[in-house]
Chain A
Amino acid sequence: MNTGYSTSFFLVVFLIVAIGFAVAPLFLARLWAWKYSPRKPGASKNATYECGLESKGDAWIQFRSEYYIYGIIFLVFDVETLFLLPFAAAFPELNFGAFAAMLVFLLLLVEGLAWAWMKGLLNWK
């Protein structure tokens, strides 16, 4: 099909309109502020918003990242339950292939549990 113009022409038009759509209100707001409504920065206005309280301390603190262990163990049991229920409900109609696939899936999750057990994560300290 010979249209006489490049098809990427529309992309350029859309890009320009999209950028204009985003930038024009900002530009108008700046124009409005310059003409009518002066900017009024201030100490507490520029401060961090902390529900009205003054923020204390530094946000750049170190914290223990050991939560991932609980995340993994939770995932093992949660995903297992999530898939075992429909598996149990549909069990009579399943053929052997689906049954084997489910067993492989369960094995993968049980591997995670075995890994956590080996690492001693299940011991209450």
Chain B
Amino acid sequence: MDEGLRRELGQHGIFTTSLEELYNWGRKNSIWPLQFGLACCAIEMIAASMARFDLARFGAEVFRPSPRQADLMIVAGTVTKKMAPQVVRLYNQMPEPKYVIAMGACAISGGPFKQGYNVLKGIDRFIPVDVHIPGCPPRPEALLHAFMTLQRRIDAQLLTGPNRPRHLKESAPSEFPIPQFGPHDISPNKNPALWQPPAFKRAD
């Protein structure tokens, strides 16, 4: 619909909308996170869901203890290599549409434990992350900001057309390969379709 006509109708007290907008409006205001914490960032996540910071204002206070009912995975904390297969499997078990917030320095990059032999250097090597939050740990306000960012992203998603999001495409995968915890390291150590190591090019 033409934006001018829409504003004109709005001035006369007539509200117009589209199915896409209704769909996104409903989804972005009822993001149910998976009840799932890995390390100290989870404490900040709990604080964000309690009365002082009140995640319920964004319709996201319903932490689900089962991935079957969850829309959002908040990877809150250090992902060890032993835990990584479980995180990916939980992500795979969530129904579409599903989103991921990588919360804290550890979840996005390994953080202060990046050099550790047992720490995954960022969960985005295995699952597609929608919002990254830096910080060690990030304050609850940062998590709220990530929520609002995610809401804006959901609001902008299209319902039809070639640019529609993954969950509306028949061919796009909803499951990602689960790595194995081997005797020496996790294998494979990344999902090349999702993450490639940054390439440094020498300036001539």
Contacts and interface: CB of A to CB of B under 8 A. Distances in A.
B96 A37 contact: yes
B139 interface: no
Interface in A35-82: 36-38, 40, 42-45, 47, 49, 51-54
Interface string B155-182: 0000110000001111001110010000
B49 interface: no
- Chain B contact-residue range equals 20 to 34
A51 B175 contact: no
Contacts of A54: 89
B92 A45 contact: yes
Contact of B170 (A38, A51, A52): A38
Nearest to A43: B175
A40 B85 CA distance: 20
Given A37-B168, A38-B168, A44 B178 contact: yes
A90 B35 CA distance: 48
B93 A49 contact: yes
Contact of B66 (A37, A38, A40, A49): A49
Contacts of A49: 66-68, 93
B51 to A, nearest CB: 28
B87 interface: yes
Nearest to B170: A38
Given A37-B167, A49-B68, A42 B174 contact: yes
The residue among A40, A53, A54 with the most chain B CB atoms within 10 A of its own CB is A40
Nearest to B96: A40
B86 interface: yes
Interface of A: 36-38, 40, 42-45, 47, 49, 51-54
29 contacts: A36-B159, A36-B160, A36-B168, A37-B97, A37-B167, A38-B168, A38-B169, A38-B170, A40-B96, A40-B167, A40-B173, A40-B174, A40-B175, A42-B174, A43-B175, A44-B92, A44-B93, A44-B175, A45-B92, A45-B95, A45-B175, A49-B67, A49-B68, A49-B93, A51-B90, A52-B86, A52-B89, A53-B86, A54-B89
